[in-house]
Amino acid sequence: MKDMHGIIFAYLTHPKLKELAEHRTAASLPFGGRYRCIDFMLSNMVNAGINDVGVVMRDSYQSLLDHLGSGKDWDLARKRGGLRLLPPFGYAGPRRSVEFRGRMEALYGVASYISRIRQDYVVLADGENVANLSLEDVLESHIQSGAEITCVCTPAREGAVSDEAFYRLDDTGRIVDITVGLKDGYESMNVFLLSKPLLEHLLNYCAARSLYHFNRDVLQAMKEKLRLSAYIYNGYCARLISVTNYFQHSMDLLKPEVRRDLFPRGRSIRTKVRDEAPTYYSPDSRARNSVVADGCYIEGVVENSILFRGVRIGKGAVVQNCILMQDAAVKDGARISHVIADKQVTVSENHILVGHSTYPIAISKGAEV
Amino acid sequence: MKKEIVAMLLAGGQGSRLYVLTTNVAKPAVPFGGKYRIIDFPLSNCVNSDIDTVGVLTQYQPLELNEYIGSGQPWDLDRLHGGVHILPPYMHGKGGQWYKGTANAIYQNIRFIDNYGPEYVLILSGDHIYKMDYADMLRRHKKSGSDCTIAVYEVSLQEASRFGILNTNPDDTVYEFEEKPAQPKSTLASMGIYIFNWGKLRKYLTEDEADPKSSNDFGKNIIPAMLKAGEKLSVCRFNGYWKDVGTIESLWDANMDMLSASNQMDLHDPAWRIYARNPVAPPHYMGAGAVISHSLVTEGCEVEGEVLNSVLFNDVTVAEGASVKYSILMPGAVVESGAVIEYAILAENARVGAGARVGADPKDAPDPAEWGIAVVASDVVIEAGRVIGPNTMVAD
């Protein structure tokens, strides 16, 4: 199963992520105590035996570069292939600093990279999907169905994103209609598998006609001409597009079935190693129903929360229903609930901060409260 | 390209007093402190002291250690020139042989050291838990103009007869070395950490090898020979945390030390990180009914029961209603519901069935003189309901 090449789109940002996306794209959003969103898709690729992965980025990619480095933490620091970071060339024209208008435009910017792909199949995937998806199963289904493009989708979730694409299928699993915003059928995960020659052909076709949108100009426009098949993924899948939905999906990790889905044995999610010490719980600490990464130092009370690496909770501090990112500190006696504290946030002694599950408070990176 | 200093880490010891914990692994590969192996401490000290060339001498059960060290990448020791090298004994023209002693192990690797043309060689062992700046020791070695500097640790007079003791002049030069003296004259114990001028050490190693009566040991042969010949030897005092983890008791003790805030061994200190090969596991989780207090817990653990005064390595499971106190649970250990673990060490992937008991509080021991830490060896399954008393070792 080494016949696939991975391309991850890591340039998308979502305005509703507000403070959380100030310094980063959705793909490099911290999630689940020690990960960035992109770790999931990157690990899915590595777990499927994919050795060559290109990551397409556009703006605010410093955090992503810092996280991915040479790719060694995913075993992708290779001489032949491995991880390739694909930032934009310095555009001199008027289109500078404008987001890609669509995935085809993003791919067109790396056309020469695509022409050198040595595998027969290419997986195109959004970097902000949090799911443990077996891409080798997707390839098998692609080959068996005889599809030209296989689109991975999931049964529409509660509160599904309204601007997402939905697929209507016939009895054979062929996609017969693609709609946006209607919540009709299966929700797209924006993971596509197709052959390299077809991808190159589609790129040339679109470039020649100033078409740049994968959903509209390829899937919708060619659904009769091309055989589009669906691969239905039934496991846990999160797409993080707003502060509230980030909060809710993070809290999902407190459910054992969600952790089993995302972190099954043998299909590990890899991330950048930080060499933290084990987490220390002091004699006076009280912790329950929480997910805690390494390197934390806990002297207070923690309930129903997600703690990233290196978080410090002082004596008498109470943390309930919170998400505290890397190196955040809650000082002695502070009480916080329904707060998302970004990296290196400090909540000072005896301060009180209370949000609500439908409107959690997000605090920007490095802020002192 | 020359290296100023090369470190040689003696990692071939069996650690026979760790019994079932070292049946399949060398002592330096024994897990320690929730996330580490013993060898991570000297290796991290090297890197943090800017020493980038380390030879690791292996002999006993080297497979796991070899795999653990690999390319040296977790310690930043995957270098184009230098880096970490595993050095097992090998065959050569005249036959080859096992490492006969600590000095012979270095003797057999003279060519390895010569390759880097160093001025100094640092000799280390893989038996201790400590953080030490070897660069500082090297500075003192150079300043004193000694041929050999030995790191020493102040022990009590009663303990002194268990150690190699250095008797010194007021200027910290050594006039005598006594191995485990019955009547110690000093309380400066050798830590088994030496910096030698390579040219000198090379000469003494060669002479020592030519002596068939020698036991080819640094403490017994090389140091006394150098003293006898009038070479200048000095001590370098160390007063941080330093602990031998060569016995079940001391291994358990040292793990418990990591829980105390005043142990001078701050594992969380970003300025002197201890590097290790990190397992790939999600953050740990504790359930709504879990109790965790005064403990170290690592990634991949799932705790539903009670964990007090304990060290949990990665991927440990403590089920609902189970209780773990004053214990060390190595990677992948499982404690099923209602089981009670007290004053015990569960080795890797050991499993304790529902309602079983392992170890006992010294207060509850029928005979205090017979009390000790209970040990369950790796991959051993303790059936549900079984009782393993204190001071017991279960190997199958």
Can you give the pLDDT at residue A160?
56
Are residues A292 and B297, on separate chains, in Cβ contact within 8 Å? yes
Bridge-based pairing state of the strands B374-376 and A346-347: unpaired
- Name the nearest CA neighbour of A31 among A124, A127, A116: A127
What is the distance between the alpha carbons of residues B385 and B153, in angstroms, rounded to a whole number? 46
| Mean pLDDT score across all residues of chain A | 91
pTM (predicted TM-score): 0.92
Bridge-based pairing state of the strands B334-335 and B317-318: parallel
Q: Is residue A200 pLDDT above 60, yes or no? A: yes
What is the DSSP track for A177-197? EEEESS--SEEEEEEEEEEHH
Are residues A279 and B284, on separate chains, in Cβ contact within 8 Å? yes
Question: Mind listing the pLDDT tens digit for each residue in B343-357?
Answer: 999 999 999 999 999
What is the distance between the alpha carbons of residues A220 and A218, in angstroms, rounded to a whole number? 6
Residues from A in contact with B at Cβ < 8 Å: 32-34, 72, 254, 259, 262-263, 268-270, 273, 275-295, 297, 306-307
Question: Mind listing the pLDDT tens digit for each residue in A64-122?
Answer: 999 999 999 999 999 889 999 998 765 555 555 567 888 988 898 898 999 999 999 99
Could you tell me if B303 and B285 are in contact, meaning their C-beta atoms sit under 8 angstroms apart?
yes
Beta bridge partners of B297: A279, B312
CA angle A186, A187, A193 (to 5 degrees): 95
Tokens 């010949």, residue?
A: B229
* Closest residue in A to B332 (Cα–Cα): A265
Q: What is the mean pLDDT of residues B262-289?
A: 91
Q: Which of A275, A282, A293 sits opposite B283 (nearest CB)?
A: A293
Structure tokens at A363: 């605090």
In angstroms, what is the C-alpha Rg of chain B?
A: 22
ipTM over 0.85: yes
What is the distance between the alpha carbons of residues B391 and B379, in angstroms, rounded to a whole number? 19
Q: What is the mean pLDDT of residues A304-313?
A: 97
Can you give the pLDDT at residue B96?
81
Interface test with A, best of B77, B275, B293 (most A CBs within 10 A): B293
Tokens 């040990």, residue?
A: B375
Helical axes A37-47 vs A135-145, angle rounded to 10° = 60
Are residues A289 and B35, on separate chains, in Cβ contact within 8 Å? no
Which positions in chain A touch B274 (Cβ < 8 Å)? 275, 277
Which positions in chain B touch A307 (Cβ < 8 Å)? 283
Backbone conformation region of residue A76, classed left if phi is above 0, alpha if psi is from -120 to 50, else beta: alpha
Q: Which residue has the higher pLDDT, B266 or B194?
A: B194
Q: Is residue A1 pLDDT above 50, yes or no? A: no
Beta bridge partners of A203: none
Are residues B286 and A290, on separate chains, in Cβ contact within 8 Å? yes
Structure tokens at B100: 């006969």
Q: Is residue B274 pLDDT above 80, yes or no? A: yes
Could you tell me if A319 and A305 are in contact, meaning their C-beta atoms sit under 8 angstroms apart?
yes
Task: Tell me what percent of the residues of chain A surpass a pLDDT of 70.
Answer: 95
Q: What is the three-class DSSP state of B251?
A: helix
Structure tokens at A157: 């979730």
For residues B134-147, one letter each, b for 16 or more C-beta atoms within 10 angstroms of the residue's C-beta and e for the rest, the string is beebbebbeebebb
Task: Tell me what percent of the residues of chain B surpass a pLDDT of 70.
Answer: 100
pLDDT classification of A144: cutoffs 50, 70, 90: very high
Beta bridge partners of A167: A178, A186
Q: Average the pLDDT over each of A95-104, B47-56, B182-191 and give the range with the smallest value.
A: A95-104
Q: Is residue B368 pLDDT above 90, yes or no? A: no
Asked if the C-beta of B332 comes within 8 angstroms of chain A's C-beta atoms, the answer is no
Can you give the pLDDT at residue A21?
84
Interface test with B, best of A76, A271, A290 (most B CBs within 10 A): A290
Could you tell me if A285 and A301 are in contact, meaning their C-beta atoms sit under 8 angstroms apart?
yes
Hey, which residues 22-41 in chain B have their CB within 8 Å of chain A?
33-35
Can you give the pLDDT at residue A181?
77
Could you tell me if A68 and A53 are in contact, meaning their C-beta atoms sit under 8 angstroms apart?
no
